[in-house]
Amino acid sequence: MKYSNINLGKDVEIDVSSSVNNVVIGDNVRIAKRCSVFGSPDNLLEIGSGCYVGMNSMLNGYAAKLTIGRNVSIAQNVSIMVDSGPNASELMQNVFPIIRKPVRIGNHVWIGSGSIIMPGVSLGDFCIVAANSYVNESFGPYTIIGGNPAKIIRSFTDEEKRKMEGM
């Protein structure tokens, strides 16, 4: 595992096969096997307390701010990126410029396996992302989204909201 410019909370577990740098990690965070979790010196990636990052996931916060709230569940093979584009071809960039925008994941969000979160996306608290979803726009709290591109499947019922809020 690569350690560079990171601030670890208490009881953090990072598998030795994962690479982590330029990150602030809260308490009780678990990062599974073969993950790549990185920000930059100018954009420290922030992971709140109580989060889980599933194996083979990539959290790219290099070119803009990536903020992940508390108690977020990220399944395996998830990609969250703050930049996207043809970075190897300046000629392609003349037509398709690289997009660099911050990403914010709220508290208690659940991101299903194989999902891709694109630059500029914000997911509200208690949002659920179905497996294999391509998320290229923002969604509010208490929504269940899925598909390619992701759309709202439904919103939480009042009873579900009460259960989530401990009312």
* Domain CATH number, residue 34: 2.160.10.10
114-129 pLDDT, tens digit per residue, is 999 999 999 999 999 9
Q: Are strands 73-74 and 122-123 parallel, antiparallel or unpaired?
A: unpaired
30-44 pLDDT, tens digit per residue, is 999 999 999 999 999
What range defines the domain where residue 72 resides? Answer: 3-165
Which percentage of the chain shows pLDDT scores above 90? 90
Helical ranges in the chain per DSSP H: 90-95, 158-165
Task: Give the chain's length.
Answer: 167
pLDDT at 4 over 80: no
Beta bridge partners of 25: 8, 47
Predicted TM-score (pTM) above 0.95: no
- CA distances to 27, 59, 86 from 98, rounded to whole Å, are 34, 18, 7
What's residue 103's pLDDT?
98
3-state secondary structure 96-145: CCCEECCEEECCCCEECCCCEECCCCEECCCCEECCCCEECCCECCCEEE
Total domains in the fold of the chain: 1
Tokens representing 33 are 């096997």
71-87 pLDDT, tens digit per residue, is 999 999 999 999 999 98
The SS3 assignment for 31 reads: strand
Q: Which residues of 31-41 are buried (b: 16+ CB within 10 A; e: fewer)?
A: bbeebbbbbbe
Query: Which whole number is the average pLDDT over 65-70?
Result: 98
